Structure 1
Amino acid sequence: MTIPETMQAMVLTGHGGLDRYEWYEDWPVPEPGPTDVLIKVGACGLNNTDVNTRTGWYSKAVSEATTGGAYDEVGEEDPTWGGRPLVFPRIQGADAVGTVVAVGDKADPSLIGKRVMVNGWLRDWDDPDNMDKTGYYGSECDGGFAQYATADMRGIATVESPLSDAELATFSCSYTTAEGMLERARVGPGDTVLVPGASGGVGGALVQLARLRGARVIAMASEAKHADVAKLGPDRILPRGPEDLRAALGDEKITVVADVVGGSYWPKLIDILERGGRYTCSGAIAGPIVQFDLRTFYLRDLTFTGSTVLPPEVFENVVRYIEEGKLQPVLAATYPLRELREAQQAFIDKTHTGNIVVVP
């Protein structure tokens, strides 16, 4: 096919509110590097990293919950997930799915015409397991909020699936994040996993993936979203924040809390963990600053694991589950790419249950 010289793209021009996105009809189509492929983007999912990077929420200067709006103060040196400055202008979008239309000089030409998912984690392919040498797609390089995007051929996966591009675009960030959390917490048969925020993208992924590991799963979500959460197969569903969590759980013995919420409710989650239990975290949308009683931590022999940078096999596992039909996409809504601002506001407001995708 003929590759155009320019494309439509939503470009982030600086940290702040949604007004920092600018729409372009004539942004240059990127040139693939030697080991890169050029992807005609079919769909790209939204995730919290997009929001938090735009606003600069990762900066230690910010202590409040994720709001999606501009903050009064954002540190210049640590506004991104990796604690480093972001280079502007930047095309965000980590969850890109599309068709390979061209390849670099050293890339595999047989990839042309194949449908692919992008692995959000950028790696030094001479040292792929080194966490200190990682970046994130749409953060340290341009991503999928455009008609075309490039990616290293070693950071993509071809996918054989009847699912649409929009459905596939719900998986990369949410499901690899969830799988990484469960792997760090060593979840398996015999565990009972409590999932706060189960109506979100990562929360819904945690429910499904923990079930695949043979665990019992208890989801927490606002009651208006219980019917949607029930479709994911949790063993029980609780309200979003019961005043007496222990009473709400009854005789349930919680061995793992898999959390992306944090906030003021956090101590109650820790208090109900069984002795020797595990807490795993990859987010703090309700607030990053929590009250932590060290006595609960050490007297109950608890293990805490943070989960951000993931080994390559996590993405490979998720792709395999997709191809085997073991995961259910939770596609809440699709928006045209030019309506990214509206889509991201709906994501922030939790207007929908599940994942939101933009389509060029």
Structure 2
Amino acid sequence: MQAMVTTGQGGYDKLEYRTLPLPLLRPGEVLLQVLAAGMNNTDINTRVGWYGATPGVAGGGAEPTSGDAPLGWNGATPFPLIQGADCCGRVVAVAPNVQGQEQVHAYGQLLGQRVLVRSCMRVSGFDAPDTRWLGTDFDGAFAQYLRVPASEVFAVQSDWSDVELASLPCAWGTAENMLQRAGVAAGEQVWVSGASGGVGSAAVQLARRRGAQVTALTSRDKRDAVAALGADRVLCREDGTAAWSQLPPADVVVDNVAGTGFGTWLKLLRRGGRYVSSGAIAGADVALDMRDLYLKDLTLLGCTAWDEVVFPNLIGYVERNEIRPVVAASFALQDMARAQEVFLEKQHTGNIVLVP
């Protein structure tokens, strides 16, 4: 098979398009033909060493810290590594002890099914925070074939294209997990930063699906695209924050941008509000005014490990046409370096997808 292999931390020269043997199945696994694979911030952050670096801007090329092992978000990254947390694939082989096993969501036989893979795998069960991530802790979807545990494969019955489905798992799973953890309910005021990105654009739709009133922050040139996602109110970064205090205070802030805007978000929250994050694309170092935190009885939520209901929820939303995909562009797998360049330009709305 052909695969894009990340050989270590560094520049685009660390991405190598290679011919590799097909993965050999172990008990409990299935083999997928990868139909399409979405791209995420973590693919770049892992390559440049951001998780083990002095805090800085995500995807900004920060140098890794000293030490023998290159650090990722779960410890040492197992280079050489096939990255890719987002997989839409078709089951083409099944380990003997999985053959005939029915999915927990009642879609019948695995073999031949078009499926999505749950990117975040809870290796010690859902009562423990331990995670194992596709494309970060073991080989992922930037290849023609992929082996994964059968328990993490979810058949999906939908007329979405392969590319559209591949835009879903990591970004939408992350967004749904944040809303689930924050307990977003109908009628609440939800503010979303970075609303044109993969996670942000998903959060807008998913919060609206829950009946929340959504205020989205984006750049002026993406205002119309974000409004089309269903945001009730779209604010432009270029206009500044002077008028924000006249708007309804936030019950929940969904913020994967962080950086210098972190303190502003806390001031916009009502007393008893919740701030939830799973990223820091504008910088990991933030200034916290402790008076905002304790005088307003705020709750700060960090979200990496997905709750059990998150991925089955997403499959249901797709099958009932309650959400719609937001795909900015697709590239051939061998053009991944160019796709990452476009990703870092941040001129797109939604997700970028690779096709083997």
State the TM-score bracket (shorter-chain normalisation).
over 0.9
The residue that corresponds to 2:104 in the other structure is: none
Indicate whether 1:355 and 2:356 are aligned.
Answer: no
CA distance in structure 1 between the aligned counterparts of 2:259 and 2:164, rounded to whole angstroms: 30
SS in 2 for 1:292: coil
1:69 paired residue among 57, 61, 64: 61
SS in 2 for 1:321: helix
1:251 deviates by 3.3
Taking a change above 3 Å as real, the CA distance of residues 42 and 327 of structure 1, as seen in their structure-2 partners, is same
Indicate whether 1:156 and 2:172 are aligned.
Answer: no
CA distance in structure 1 between the aligned counterparts of 2:239 and 2:290, rounded to whole angstroms: 23
1:255 deviates by 1.2
The residue that corresponds to 1:50 in the other structure is: 43
Taking a change above 3 Å as real, the CA distance of residues 336 and 78 of structure 1, as seen in their structure-2 partners, is closer
1:288 paired residue among 281, 284, 288: 284
SS in 2 for 1:95: coil
1:250 deviates by 2.2
Segments of 5+ residues of structure 1 without an aligned counterpart are: 1-6
Taking a change above 3 Å as real, the CA distance of residues 72 and 57 of structure 1, as seen in their structure-2 partners, is closer
Percent identity of equivalent pairs = 45
SS in 2 for 1:111: coil
CA distance in structure 1 between the aligned counterparts of 2:68 and 2:225, rounded to whole angstroms: 40
Give the letter aligned to residue 142 of structure 1.
Answer: D
Taking a change above 3 Å as real, the CA distance of residues 269 and 181 of structure 1, as seen in their structure-2 partners, is same
Indicate whether 1:123 and 2:115 are aligned.
Answer: no
Can you list the C-alpha shifts for 1:13-39, whole angstroms capped at 9, x where unaligned? 001222111111x21111121111100
1:102 paired residue among 93, 104, 122: 93
CA distance in structure 1 between the aligned counterparts of 2:223 and 2:241, rounded to whole angstroms: 19
CA RMSD, Structure 1 to Structure 2 (Å): 1.5
The residue that corresponds to 2:16 in the other structure is: 22
- Checking the alignment, whether the CA contact within 8 Å between 1:16 and 1:70 is kept in structure 2 is no
Indicate whether 1:314 and 2:313 are aligned.
Answer: no
TM-score of the pair, normalised by structure 1: 0.93
Indicate whether 1:196 and 2:193 are aligned.
Answer: yes
Q: Which moved more, 1:113-122 or 1:49-58?
A: 49-58
- Checking the alignment, whether the CA contact within 8 Å between 2:54 and 2:62 is kept in structure 1 is no
Taking a change above 3 Å as real, the CA distance of residues 208 and 74 of structure 1, as seen in their structure-2 partners, is farther
- Checking the alignment, whether the CA contact within 8 Å between 1:65 and 1:287 is kept in structure 2 is yes
Give the letter aligned to residue 148 of structure 2.
Answer: A
The residue that corresponds to 1:4 in the other structure is: none
Give the letter aligned to residue 249 of structure 2.
Answer: K
Taking a change above 3 Å as real, the CA distance of residues 35 and 72 of structure 1, as seen in their structure-2 partners, is closer
Taking a change above 3 Å as real, the CA distance of residues 78 and 259 of structure 1, as seen in their structure-2 partners, is farther
The residue that corresponds to 2:103 in the other structure is: none
Taking a change above 3 Å as real, the CA distance of residues 43 and 68 of structure 1, as seen in their structure-2 partners, is farther
CA distance in structure 1 between the aligned counterparts of 2:293 and 2:329, rounded to whole angstroms: 40
After TM superposition, the runs of 4+ consecutive aligned structure 1 residues lying more than 4 A away are: 74-78
- Checking the alignment, whether the CA contact within 8 Å between 2:49 and 2:64 is kept in structure 1 is no
Counterparts of 1:136-285 in structure 2 under 5 Å? Answer: 136-240=133-237, 242-245=239-242, 247-248=243-244, 250-285=246-281
CA distance in structure 2 between the aligned counterparts of 1:74 and 1:113, rounded to whole angstroms: 46
1:183 deviates by 1.1
TM-score of the pair, normalised by structure 2: 0.94
Can you list the C-alpha shifts for 1:255-307, whole angstroms capped at 9, x where unaligned? 11100000112111111111111100111000000010101110011111110
Taking a change above 3 Å as real, the CA distance of residues 272 and 285 of structure 1, as seen in their structure-2 partners, is same
- Checking the alignment, whether the CA contact within 8 Å between 1:192 and 1:218 is kept in structure 2 is yes
CA distance in structure 1 between the aligned counterparts of 2:66 and 2:132, rounded to whole angstroms: 21
Taking a change above 3 Å as real, the CA distance of residues 75 and 314 of structure 1, as seen in their structure-2 partners, is farther
Give the letter aligned to residue 218 of structure 2.
Answer: A
Q: Which moved more, 1:299-308 or 1:73-82?
A: 73-82
- Checking the alignment, whether the CA contact within 8 Å between 1:241 and 1:265 is kept in structure 2 is no
